[in-house]
Amino acid sequence: MNAMIGQPVRRREDVRFITGRGRYTDDISLAGQGYAAFARSPYARARIVSIDTTGAKTTPGVVGVFTGADLTAAGIGALPCGWLVKSTDGSDMKVAPRPPLAATQVNFVGEPYAIVVGETLAAARAGVDALEADFEELEASANLASAMEGVQIHDGIERNLSFHWALGDAAAVDAAFARAKHLTTLTFANNRLIPNAIEPRACVAAYDAASDEITLYTTSQNPHLERLILAAFVGLAPEHKLRVVSPDVGGGFGSKIFVYPEETAAAWAARALNRPVKWTAERSESFLSDAHGRDHLTTAELALDDAGTFLGLRVRTRANLGAYLSTFGSSVPTYLYGTLLAGQYCTPAIHVEVDGVYTNTAPVDAYRGAGRPEATYVIERIVETAARELGVDPAELRRRNFIQPDQFPYETPVALVYDTGDYQQSLERAQKLADVAGFPARRAAAAAKGLRRGLGYSCYIEACGLAPSQLAISLGAGVGLYESGEIRVNPTGSVTVFTGSHSHGQGHETTFAQVVAGKFGIPIEQVEVVHGDTGRVEFGLGTYGSRSLAVGGSALVKSADKIIEKGRRISGHLMETAPDQVDFEDGVYKARGTNRRMTFGEVALAAYVPANFPEGLEPGLSEKTFYDPKNFTYPAGAHIAEVEVDPETGVVKVVAFTAVDDFGTVINPMIVEGQVHGGVAQGIGQALLELGAYDESGQLVTGSFMDYAMPRADDLPSFSVDTTVTPCTHNPLGAKGCGEAGAIGAPAAVMNAVTDALGVKDVAMPASPERVWRALRGA
Amino acid sequence: MKVSITVNGAPREAEVAPNTLLVELLRGSFGLTGTHVGCDTSQCGACTVRLDGKAVKSCTVLAAQAEGCEVTTIEGLGAPGALHPLQAAFQETHALQCGFCTPGMIMGALDLIESGERLDEASVRAGLDGNYCRCTGYHNIVRAVLLAAGANA
Amino acid sequence: MQDFAYHRPRSIADAVSLRRSAADGSYLAGGMTLIPTLKQRLAAPSDLVDLGALGELAGVRLESGMMTIGAMTRHAVVAASQDARRAIPALAALAGQIGDAQVRNRGTIGGSVANSDPAADYPAAVIALGATIRTDRREIAADGYFRGLFETALEPGELIREIAFPVPARAAYRKFRHPASRYAVAGVFVADFGGSRVRVGVTGAGPCAFRWSALEHALSSALDPAAANGAPLDHGRFNSDLAASAEFRAQLVRVMAKRALESLSG
């Protein structure tokens, strides 16, 4: 037993954050550093006729001006997309090369085409102003709905189509639809979101001429992957001559997974100039240049029989890729989306087709949930709509179609094998917590005040803990999806943990320490967690897709087990007992049937001072593991939103939100609840507030916090959160992952509540006051 | 030009350009990197500090405007082992995740708990309208502020 | 931000004179609009004349049926002012809804009224209360003051000293906030001066704040909130953006007006 599991241990990292002692990338200043500013395209699509750098180079304080041509000449390659998706005809997805600095054509507003380094930031910006770039503006294709018929953006990519991907059995779906008694159809958009971690992206790069090594401090969720891509694909520096450090990172939500032009150009410039170069995005740059999320247009059809049993689901989606394929841009609307379309249900036939389409907009990639919120929105909106059309209670229709606990492992028609779950249980718990029984009275009370109240469900599932490497690679992934975890027991018995996961708010320094301290039976204060530095951590794939505990934590458990085993041999030798006769409990090795004891610390010292040591055993007490999961994990849950709508102004207020989630084993319930809160807030933001909007010419209309509505404290209610537990069957912790659940489940719950309140079939997200007001007028 | 400001109780002087923002002075010349910058349109509140006892966005105040004023930053509030009750409440209630908005959030919330007004969930939510948090959904921040307000009462 | 010369005068006369002698000068009041504008390099004045040291410009005073607010009075001060809360509680409440807490600690009434942002709150009150804008050189009546988008009757270099608000019998302000910026998408200030004299100021909807005369006319016979539903309101020149089309703004103006009127009688 691990006594630390399930304890709401207060976070150890908090002390530095609440006292202003955090160390974020922009807090790092290196001696002699220059400051970078980027020249960015004002056009959605334009040919670069010429760039005259003379004025910039002679601007006082400017120390370097580099364009795409300079990088190309230096052999810097395009930023790659790490997941190869194939079209239904067997052809590879069509990739438009994305140079870090555009050299011949710009394809979205904000795309960088030159970097200027100055003694000061002001000098760098003045240098950017002094650049004379001559553009020939070209017609743009910025609207997803018309992009396949619009002007062709990239040479050789007809209809702007990167791939036409499909999954499932089309013939089986056709057959199911042929015998259906009821058909529900919905067409909707999944709105483009802009991640907006409060810390803008930043980097500081330094070149050491003596060692020919570049050190890149950057806001990354996965520094090793950044290093790998910059070394192997971009050609910035050999992997062993590049150190990537990701210090405290102020939120990521996916947007800091990717390798971006800015840190690439800044790191290159640091070497070219032989001096450190620092860049920090202004928020307006973040809006233009961070990878955006979502942005689908979908038509979904659900076929049901008389009893309300789901027979088949057909989904057609057009997914916006933006102007280029970002690092994982191709995987999000395909393998992270289509594979989830079974949801929590025994739908026997499912077929999904996805067109991945280029537009003259910022690249689109993973944002909290990444494909799974879009899938959940499809399923949970159409299920709720079907229930209303059939006159069946939406919870009851779900119940009738749930995969039952005795059906696990359950193979879906869209390529996944769910290991465990109990959907009925989480739904019932949520209904009780949300007092669904009392809803009619609350609705009547609201009506008496002239308000419309609605209730909506969302029973989501996600595939997390990304995941078996061989499976992922066979499906096109360019990297494995294991995680490394190393534990070094120091001679004095304190422990340093090295994880390839990266914490940017998730609290790994506490959760991972709990796991390890609990394993060893030592005080948590004796455990230090190191992450985010390729110079200290051997390897890692980073934190995204709610994978850190299930994969990274499992690696640590395995390493801890190895250490405990080695300690058994050392202590057995010293206690003159066979290792298999030594028990390890609460930090003490005990020779069974004797009163001989050695503490964990004594064994550690013995390992490093091997005066009397087992024959053939190496000294030291340090182990590592590369843990590669056998399957994804499948967190699932039931969310219930209750809203009140002011029919005169169209304002929707979320008055209650209940989330009951099954994350498997929970290590730190306090942290898990916090993850749910944050995810739900982003989900409510998507449903009611947030929209990344471009106009027809490709200008970003919502380019600042003045126009892009971020959820504030008074936009949200307090949340009612609980968990149920069916442990994951295939990792040693039984953990499934919790980081994205809120963002996955919430949008559909809120929109089901809004449409319930209004009595309409659909309202587009975000359900802005005007949209709601118009929906009511049309109803 | 020269500015003289009392920062966290200590008199400080610096030579600045007139267009230097207070936050640039604090983070740059004074090395007080606990105050963060999260936007360029004066919305997010990550840069909130106290100027003569009132919460302000230090990205929207010129250093020159702070001449002769008292500035308190997160570093001046409490230190490890001697936390201000509001800082302690943030840890106790898990009111922070990535920590980036936290200093501004705390400096903003300080006005609320020192306002002397009776606080409840609604007034705390309304009172935090100048600070964004992308991680916590505000749920635990509201709890933290209420906890600290109670502790002070 | 571009370079500029910074001045911090100690008297109104010095401020006006500094501003006059600057090539392209600008007064700096609370800076809540100006500093972001400078940061985005949408303006590049040669000189900033900071009014922050002019203590004589700050303060709220109540005398003989007028409430006078100094130009440099911060929103938070107005919101908390006992005089304001007693005499024109709607104005204090309006001040308490501007921007956010930190903005209210810095932003000033003079800055707001001088800027004439189409979505600012104070202009609705200035219009509805028939305030007088007192400058370094004259007095300007509210009705002729707001001229258009960021356009007022102020001459170049003219400095607002204070704004005098006649104290009404009752007043109310209702605002529909922009979900992102928290500016007014539609804000309506109604002021009842007794004897069927009601004035209605609208902000957020048009290029600048304006009187809704048709509603005032309808209310002159009876103070019926329902009048806001039917009074003629031409939204032909209303603002239209992602937050609200002109048509929806008109709806919001009506609803805000109705709710303000309801709270008068409530």
pLDDT, tens only, C168-212 = 999 999 999 999 999 999 999 999 999 889 999 999 999 999 999
Which residues from chain C sit within 8 angstroms of residue A707, using beta carbons? 180-181, 242
Answer yes or no: is pLDDT of A407 > 60.
Answer: yes
Residues whose CB falls within 8 Å of the CB of residue B137, separated by 6 or more in sequence, listed in order: A677, A678, A679, A680, A681, A682, A711, A716, A719, A742
- What pLDDT score was predicted for residue A124? 98
- What pLDDT score was predicted for residue A1? 58
Q: Could you report the predicted ipTM of this complex, rounded to two decimals?
A: 0.97
> H or E element: which one contains A388?
helix A372-390
Answer yes or no: is pLDDT of B4 > 90.
Answer: yes
Report the pLDDT averaged over residues A596-614. Answer: 96
d(CA B13, CA A213): 38
d(CA A311, CA A204): 55
**Chain-chain contact of B40 with C39 (C-beta, under 8 angstroms):** yes
d(CA C16, CA B146): 47
For residue C177, give its domain range: 170-265
C183 lies in the same domain as C160: no
Question: Full-prediction pTM beyond 0.90?
Answer: yes
**Chain-chain contact of C28 with B65 (C-beta, under 8 angstroms):** yes
Which residues from chain B sit within 8 angstroms of residue C117, using beta carbons? none
Which residues from chain A sit within 8 angstroms of residue B138, using beta carbons? 677, 681, 711-713, 716
pLDDT tens sequence across A285-324: 999 999 999 999 999 999 999 999 999 999 999 999 999 9
What percent helix, strand, coil does chain A show, rounded to 5?
30, 25, 45
Question: What residues of chain C score a pLDDT lower than 70?
Answer: 266
Across the interface, of A18, A677, A680, the residue whose CB is closest to B83 is: A18
C90 lies in the same domain as C75: yes
C178 lies in the same domain as C252: yes
CATH topology of domain A296-466+631-778: Aldehyde Oxidoreductase; domain 4 (3.30.365)
- What pLDDT score was predicted for residue B151? 52
- What CATH class has A482-627? alpha beta
Q: Does domain B2-76 have CATH number 3.10.20.30?
A: yes
Across the interface, of A20, A675, A710, the residue whose CB is closest to B75 is: A20
Could you tell me what percent of chain A has a pLDDT over 90?
A: 95
The domain spans of chain B are: 2-76, 85-152
Domain count, chain C: 3
pLDDT tens sequence across A18-54: 999 999 999 999 999 999 999 999 999 999 999 999 9
- What pLDDT score was predicted for residue A244? 98
d(CA A437, CA A442): 10
Strand-pair partners of A204: A217, A278
Nearest residue to A205 (alpha-carbon basis) of A182, A176, A227: A227
> H or E element: which one contains C256?
helix C246-265
Strand order in the sheet with A132-137: A105-106, A46-52, A132-137
**Chain-chain contact of A198 with B132 (C-beta, under 8 angstroms):** yes
Structure tokens at A697: 């010419």
The domain spans of chain A are: 15-138+199-250+256-289, 296-466+631-778, 482-627
Residue pair C36/C130 in contact by the 8 Å Cβ criterion: no
Answer yes or no: is pLDDT of A518 > 70.
Answer: yes
Give chains near A: 3+ CB pairs under 8 A.
B, C
Could you tell me what percent of chain B has a pLDDT over 70?
A: 98
Which residues from chain C sit within 8 angstroms of residue A705, using beta carbons? 180-181
pLDDT tens sequence across A639-697: 999 999 999 999 999 999 999 999 999 999 999 999 999 999 999 999 999 999 999 99
For the domain bounded by A15-138+199-250+256-289, which CATH number is listed?
3.90.1170.50
| Residue A1 in contact with partner chain B when CB distance is under 8 A | no
Instruction: Give the count of alpha carbons within 13 A of A257, CB side only.
Output: 27
Which residues from chain A sit within 8 angstroms of residue C245, using beta carbons? 770
Cα–Cα distances in angstroms (integers) from residue C24 to residues A517, A536, B108, B126, C49, in the given order:
66, 55, 35, 39, 11
pLDDT tens sequence across B107-147: 999 999 998 889 999 999 999 999 999 999 999 999 999 99
**Chain-chain contact of A706 with C180 (C-beta, under 8 angstroms):** yes
d(CA A23, CA B34): 8
- What pLDDT score was predicted for residue A466? 74
Mean pLDDT, chain A, whole residue set = 96
| 3-class DSSP assignment, residue A754 | helix
Could you tell me what percent of chain A has a pLDDT over 70?
A: 100
Which residues from chain A sit within 8 angstroms of residue B78, using beta carbons? 19
Structure tokens at A185: 């159809």
Report the pLDDT averaged over residues A267-277. Answer: 98
Instruction: Give the count of beta carbons closer than 10 Å to the beta carbon of residue C70.
Output: 23
A positions 500-519 inside 8 Å of B (CB): 504-507
Instruction: Give the count of beta carbons closer than 10 Å to the beta carbon of residue A348.
Output: 17
Say what angle helices A741-758 and A769-778 make with each other, to 10 degrees: 40
* Single-letter residue type at A398: R
**Chain-chain contact of B99 with A505 (C-beta, under 8 angstroms):** yes
Q: Which residue is it, tokens 């995987």?
A: A331
C62 lies in the same domain as C155: yes
Across the interface, of A282, A506, A718, the residue whose CB is closest to B40 is: A282
Task: Please report which confidence band the pLDDT of residue B152 belongs to, taking 50, 70 and 90 as the band edges.
Answer: very low
Task: Please report which confidence band the pLDDT of residue A282 belongs to, taking 50, 70 and 90 as the band edges.
Answer: very high
d(CA A629, CA A410): 18
Interface probe, candidates A7, A17, A201, A676, chain B, greatest B C-beta count within 10 A: A17
- What pLDDT score was predicted for residue A481? 86
Answer yes or no: is pLDDT of A779 > 60.
Answer: no
What is the DSSP-derived secondary structure letter of residue C46?
S
C147 lies in the same domain as C198: no
- What pLDDT score was predicted for residue B153? 40
Q: B102-118 burial, b for 16+ CB within 10 Å, e for fewer?
A: bbbbbbbbbbbbeeeee
Answer yes or no: is pLDDT of A217 > 90.
Answer: yes
Cα–Cα distances in angstroms (integers) from residue C222 to residues A305, A385, C216, C256, in the given order:
60, 47, 10, 18
CATH number for the B85-152 domain, one of 1.10.150.120, 3.40.50.300, 1.20.58.60, 3.40.50.1220? Answer: 1.10.150.120
- Identical topology for domains A296-466+631-778 and A482-627: yes
